[in-house]
Amino acid sequence: MKTIFIFNDSRPTDHLQSIVALGEDGQRVGCIKFDSYTAPHCQFAMGAQHLLREDDPDIADPVHATRAALLRRYDAVYGAGNWMPMWLDAPATNGAWRRALYLFRQRQSQPVEGAQFGNAALAGILGAIFNPADSVPHTTH
């Protein structure tokens, strides 16, 4: 069972609340931005609460859709039901969260492999750049 840490990663100057789902293995599973209407329901949307206390469909419908998408994402990353969301009000005080953040930063600092193109592909790309079709004279009638 994997723990998914859910926490508010917003800055004081942010207009939207950034709520992040970070797996214990350092994988960022999601980051959702909530406005002032949906922010009170972010814990439900992120899977950390089980009950939504909102009757207005203009708010409830997008919150339910966000929750459904995130729960599918959690299942895709860790396996169906093999995860447990945990809301953290003060994530920096949680040692397991600090370890997950360390792993996340390690992953982010790894160099990204560049795309490998063969000679024929590179020739085709360069040909399209230096000999664009619109530079060829056209005959119009």
Q: Residue 44: which pLDDT band, with cuts at 50, 70 and 90?
A: very high
pLDDT at 98 over 70: yes
Task: Output the pLDDT for position 67.
Answer: 96
Task: Output the pLDDT for position 29.
Answer: 95
Considering Cα of 17, then 18, then 22, then 26, what sign does the dihedral take? negative
Read off the pLDDT of residues 102-125 as tens digits, 9 standing for 90 and up: 999 998 888 767 667 778 888 887
Paired tokens of 136: 């060829």
Considering Cα of 94, then 99, then 100, then 101, what sign does the dihedral take? positive
Non-local (6+) Cβ contacts of 88 within 8 A are 5, 6, 7, 94, 97
Read off the pLDDT of residues 74-84 as tens digits, 9 standing for 90 and up: 999 999 989 99
